[in-house]
């Protein structure tokens, strides 16, 4: 699992305030939806980066790039030790049983695999840094959008009190 984190301490305080509010569940759903919406441009950048990876493989079993792009999601966790906003590339649902494909295509070392129909193994490179580098330039904008979403919900709480 590859993830991109935003600081969580303010988010945890806001979640505690939501729990004490009578309409807390609806506000929590709204906050998670707003945070995921704030990270939507980051998800789009990561998806376009992996879809831009060159390919010369088999078409059997579906495209690896498409399968990885489908698993890139924005996540907002409002409680617990892992509270925060992240963009994740999950490793499930990869074609041909390629375990941990998002991580392996992102790293510079690549991965080893057997050659189809032969008794040989080869080293293959993906697109190193496709996940990390695609979102690095706009990191401050994503953080500001998440903080703005938190501020919107905080203002809603104060208006109702």
Along the chain (161 residues), what's the average pLDDT of each consecutive run of 10 residues? 53 72 77 90 93 72 83 88 86 82 90 87 89 87 86 78 58
Give the pLDDT confidence score for residue 85 in this predicted structure.
87
Distance of CA 33 to the CA centre of its chain: 15
CA dihedral 50, 55, 94, 137 (to 10 degrees): -10
Give the tokens for residue 108.
């510079």
pTM above threshold 0.95:
no
Helix (H) / strand (E) containing 73: strand 72-77
């Amino acid at each position: 699992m590859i993830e991109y984190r935003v600081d969580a301490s303010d988010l945890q305080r806001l979640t505690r305030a939501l729990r004490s509010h009578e309409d807390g569940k609806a506000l929590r759903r709204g906050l998670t939806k707003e945070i995921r919406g704030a990270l939507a441009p980051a998800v789009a950048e990561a998806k376009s980066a992996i879809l831009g990876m060159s390919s010369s493989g088999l078409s059997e079993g579906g495209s690896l790039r498409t399968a990885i792009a489908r698993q890139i999601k924005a996540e907002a966790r409002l409680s617990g030790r892992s509270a925060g906003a992240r963009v994740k590339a999950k490793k499930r649902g990869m074609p041909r049983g390629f375990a941990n494909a998002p991580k392996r295509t992102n790293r510079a070392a690549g991965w080893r695999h057997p050659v189809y129909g032969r008794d040989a193994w080869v080293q293959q490179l993906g697109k190193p840094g496709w996940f990390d580098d695609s979102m690095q330039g706009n990191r401050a904008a994503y953080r500001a959008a998440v903080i703005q979403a938190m501020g919107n919900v905080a203002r809603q709480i104060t208006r109702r009190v």
